[in-house]
């Protein structure tokens, strides 16, 4: 095993090794790492199998709102991020010529104060990874197959690309939109909504003069956003309609040229500045996909002691910036459920009883989460489709009626009020 600089990441060098573990998490993104950190906090050991050779920070930046910040607070990380990244005081909607349609001021929304900060994915991932013990994160560990053990019904076996194998009492797939665990559970593949997004982070070493607002510029079918992160870093993205998947072979330079071409009718000089101050390796393009889980997830997403969470469970479009936060919330709530199932009765129950407790905990988790993740996935999609206005009349209605009214809705930030609650940290026993 080789340890990285921070000592928390082990690269598997031994080929064809067999590992026996209690809890195995497939995927070391936000959700998987936060789940491992939460389990560690409640005294449960887990390993994280991550296919990449480093923590994946593709997409450069991510916005977290109050609900996501509350999760970071549980690990005493929130203030570290508050000290680096701006809290955005408003969302301004404009047309492609820069005319303001409305401005949403979160301080006028119920339940505040609200937070909305855009942070670097890499910094966030590393901070969460710093919360888990050495050797928890196994890089270069791509899971290629999953099987129920033929000899022990309570055990699940995982096969990795390098030939090594794991057997586990619990397998949780935090493995993203193309989840292999989700496929094994028989989940429908997430569907494209016929839109793509290109995003990146511009760096202005001598600062910039943009307003400290999230600005969204809308044409009929294209959305451009500028989201200041720090005094020198600005996140931006462009969304447009495109159902083809042919872009996957484009080079970063071609993607950059495509963005400039798509936005040529926008009179937004700040955006052009952002594009020109973004290094090529920061350009990321995605087809936007989601799955609205109409069927209850406790019926479809738990088989024995295997389940999925985060994007693997409820892949969502990014229009309300909640995908990452939902994965973080899942991590805390599932850790709490497993703590209840495993920790308190650890020494007193048989393997079969323990397995039943775990199964029940996974079902309870999905019962608790389904309503919220269904609602947010649906809301994100509705926000996404309602800002596309492909005819002149729809565009007129959007710009003069819907968006100005949306700016006055008092519960616009309602979904960010969710409080994930605390982790049960065991108190030392008192000896009277
Ligand atoms: C364009 C776009 C913009 C977004 N913007 C925001 C935003 O502003 N705010 C927000 O909250 N959310 C945003 N999201 C959503 C957010 O990125 C995801 O919801 C979040 O990353 C989900 O976390 P996760 O841990 O479930 O999955 P992921 O972050 O996708 O992590 C999955 C991990 O599993 C690993 N993996 C996959 N398969 C295997 C395998 N077979 N074996 C081992 N490892 C495997 C992957 O390498 C990856 O590291 C955005 C998404 C997109 C597409």
Whichever domain contains 49, its CATH number is: 3.50.50.60
Nearest CA to ligand 1 atom 50: 318
pLDDT for the residue 2: 36
Task: Pick the atom of ligand 1 nearest to 27's CA.
Answer: 34
Beta strands 222-228 and 302-303 are: unpaired
C-beta of residue 415 within 8 angstroms of C-beta of residue 320 = yes
Q: Running DSSP on this structure, what letter comes out for residue 399?
A: I
N- to C-terminal Cα distance for the chain? Answer: 45
In a domain, 318, yes or no: yes
Q: Digits of tens for pLDDT over the chain (432 positions)?
A: 333 434 355 555 545 799 999 999 999 999 999 999 999 999 999 999 999 999 987 889 999 999 999 999 999 999 999 999 999 999 999 999 999 999 988 888 888 789 999 999 999 999 999 999 999 999 999 999 999 988 888 899 999 999 999 999 999 999 999 999 999 999 999 999 999 999 999 999 999 999 999 999 999 999 999 999 999 999 999 999 998 877 778 899 999 999 999 999 999 999 999 999 999 999 999 999 999 999 999 999 999 999 999 999 999 999 999 999 999 999 999 999 999 998 765 566 888 889 999 999 999 999 999 999 999 999 999 988 888 888 889 898 889 988 888 777 767 788 999 999 999 986 544 443
* Structural domain span for residue 155: 2-60+123-190+292-382
3-state DSSP assignment of residue 404: helix
C-beta of residue 301 within 8 angstroms of C-beta of residue 364 = no
Residue 260 makes CB contacts below 8 A (sequence gap 6+) with: 272, 275
In a domain, 285, yes or no: no
In a domain, 152, yes or no: yes
Sign of CA dihedral 40, 45, 50, 55: positive
Q: Which residues contact ligand 1 via a Cβ below 6 A? A: 26-32, 49-52, 56, 59, 62-63, 141-143, 174-176, 180, 197, 199, 286, 310-312, 318, 321-325, 327
Pocket test residue of 38, 140, 327, 329 for ligand 1, highest count of atoms within 8 A of CB? 327
Q: How many domains does the chain have?
A: 1
In a domain, 339, yes or no: yes
In a domain, 87, yes or no: no
Ligand 1 centroid to Cα of residue 291, in Å, is 14
In a domain, 248, yes or no: no
- Between vectors from CA 366 to CA 154 and to CA 23, what angle results, nearest 5°? 40
What span, in angstroms and rounded, lies between the C-alpha atoms of 266 and 216?
12
Ligand 1 centroid to Cα of residue 20, in Å, is 27
In a domain, 242, yes or no: no
Alpha-helix residue ranges (DSSP H) falling in 42-165: 66-74, 78-84, 121-129
Nearest CA to 306 out of 147, 425, 199, 418 is that of 147
Q: Which helix (H) or strand (E) holds 102?
A: strand 100-104
In a domain, 367, yes or no: yes
Burial class (CB in 10 A: 0-12, 13-18, 19+), 185: buried
């Amino acid at each position: 095993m080789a340890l990285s600089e921070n000592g928390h990441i082990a690269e598997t060098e031994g080929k064809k090794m067999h590992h026996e573990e209690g809890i195995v998490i497939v995927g070391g993104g936000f959700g998987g790492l936060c789940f491992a950190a939460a389990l560690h906090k409640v005294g449960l050991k887990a390993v994280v199998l991550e296919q990449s050779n480093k923590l994946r920070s593709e997409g450069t930046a991510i916005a977290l709102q109050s609900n996501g910040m509350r999760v970071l607070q549980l690990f005493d990380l929130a203030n570290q991020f508050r000290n680096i990244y701006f809290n955005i005081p408003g969302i301004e909607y404009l047309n492609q010529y820069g005319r303001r349609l409305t401005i949403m001021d979160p301080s006028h929304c119920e339940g505040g104060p609200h937070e909305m900060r855009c942070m670097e994915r890499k910094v966030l991932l590393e901070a969460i990874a710093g919360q888990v013990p050495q050797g928890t994160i196994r890089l270069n560990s791509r899971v290629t197959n999953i099987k129920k053990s033929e000899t022990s019904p309570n055990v699940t076996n995982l096969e990795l690309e390098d030939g090594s194998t794991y057997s586990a009492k619990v397998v949780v797939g935090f493995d993203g939109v193309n989840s292999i665990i989700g496929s094994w559970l028989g989940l429908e593949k997430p569907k494209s909504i016929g839109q793509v997004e290109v995003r990146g982070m511009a760096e202005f070493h001598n600062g910039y003069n943009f307003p400290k607002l999230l600005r969204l510029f809308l044409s009929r079918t294209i959305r451009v956003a500028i989201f200041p992160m720090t005094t020198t870093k600005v996140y931006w993205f462009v969304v447009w309609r495109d159902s083809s998947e042919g872009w996957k072979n484009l080079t970063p330079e071609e993607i950059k040229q495509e963005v400039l071409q798509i936005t040529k009718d926008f009179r937004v000089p700040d955006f052009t500045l952002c594009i020109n101050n973004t290094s090529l390796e920061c350009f990321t393009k995605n087809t936007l996909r989601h799955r609205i889980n109409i069927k209850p997830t406790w019926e479809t997403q738990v088989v024995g002691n295997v389940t999925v969470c985060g994007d693997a469970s409820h892949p969502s479009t990014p229009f309300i910036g909640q995908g990452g936060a939902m994965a973080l919330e899942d991590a805390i709530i599932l850790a709490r459920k497993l703590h209840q199932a495993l920790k308190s009765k650890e020494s007193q129950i048989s393997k079969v009883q323990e397995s039943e407790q775990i199964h029940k905990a996974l079902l309870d988790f999905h019962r608790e989460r389904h309503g919220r993740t269904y609602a947010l996935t649906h809301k994100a999609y509705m926000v996404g489709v309602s800002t596309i206005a492909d005819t002149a009349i729809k565009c007129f209605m959007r710009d003069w009626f819907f968006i100005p009214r949306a700016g006055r809705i008092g519960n616009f930030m309602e979904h960010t009020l969710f409080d994930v609650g605390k982790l049960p940290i065991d108190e030392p026993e008192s000896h009277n």
